Structure 1
Amino acid sequence: MKKFLTSPRIWSVIRTIRPWVTMIAVIAILRYTGLLAGISVVAQSALMKTGVLDASPAPPAVARDFDYDFSVKDLNNNTIDFKQFKGKTIFLNLWATWCGPCRAEMPSIQQLYEQIDHEKVVFVMLSLDRAEDTEKVSRYIKDKGHTFPVYMPSGYLPEQLNVPSIPTTFVISPQGKIVSKKAGTANYNTSGFKEFLEKM
């Protein structure tokens, strides 16, 4: 055993893997404590200030019909049939409290929300947190001073909303077409994006 531990080859392997083990341990600790999301928010927010992440309408390859056949619930646990939003432009953002990139783009969404005619454009901030975390979601929104409408799934979500990553933002036209889909953090508080929403 002693010979094994003093072998130059073993120490060479240990020296090679030590930085990787350390990095994995640090990431695991940050993830477990929730600090990783905080670091992500700071980094994403800094990028947003440069203008690199300014949103521009990103139409999907094929303008598909949006499936309105599902329900959401508000933070007071009232069930809302999504069909009630038909005929209006919908800004639909999928997010979660534990998602750093989601949290980073929320101030820009709030600023956009404050400038938009809510008779024409409906905001649906759909939290994908667990159903039992409604209070956590509500507290987060209140603490940040966000006033846009926040909802959570009420059971089934259509296939279109089963996205591989969040944040993901859809814009649905009054005619029921998905006219824009953006995965990842973006700054939505731009004159171009506001004009895009208002001209539909």
Structure 2
Amino acid sequence: MKRNTTSRARLLGAAEEVFYARGIATTAVDVVARAAGVAKPTLYAHFASKSALAAAALANRHERRAADLQARLEEAEPGEPRLLAVFSWLASCYRDDNGRGCAFLNAAADSPADEPVAAAVREEKTWLLNTLTRLSGEAGLVRPAEVASQLLLLIDGVAGRVLVRGADAAADVTATAARAAAVLIEAARPQPWRA
């Protein structure tokens, strides 16, 4: 049983790395199996299809990212600083990935909408939108769901810029998005004339 668990973990790690670097549609499962050091039948013993493997790899990435963000939020002061901490977390994600933008958006562009991959992408983006909505509410902002949606647009825009300009641009692009987020947050603070 331990061997199967180890094989599954190696497959998930290899799938995350290979699919992120090369894309899902253009990468054969043989490449993932070789990267994981397992035989192709072992891959199919754990995952019914390439889509199932890719979706599981995305879910694995999501769990790690969610834990990383939670740790970052716990370090930040409540309110607006915590909301802006999402952007420093985002910058660290791109720095650590050394890569190609958002793995989830890349996967969505690379996979048909009816696949398990698309469901994993929707779950990630829904989680992030809900997190931003909660943080916007905790910061006392007016229309927290609208602010959260605007912030998510900024975050997705960062992903596009990093994909186009490369990993070296990630820090600058994320800092620019954080400044835009601060403007949105400022505009969403309660004002006496709004009461």
Same fold (TM over 0.5): no
Q: TM-score, normalised by structure 2?
A: 0.29
Q: TM-score, normalised by structure 1?
A: 0.28
- Higher helix residue share: 2
Pair member with larger Rg: 1
Bigger relative contact order, structure 1 or 2, given CA contacts below 8 A and separation 6+? 1
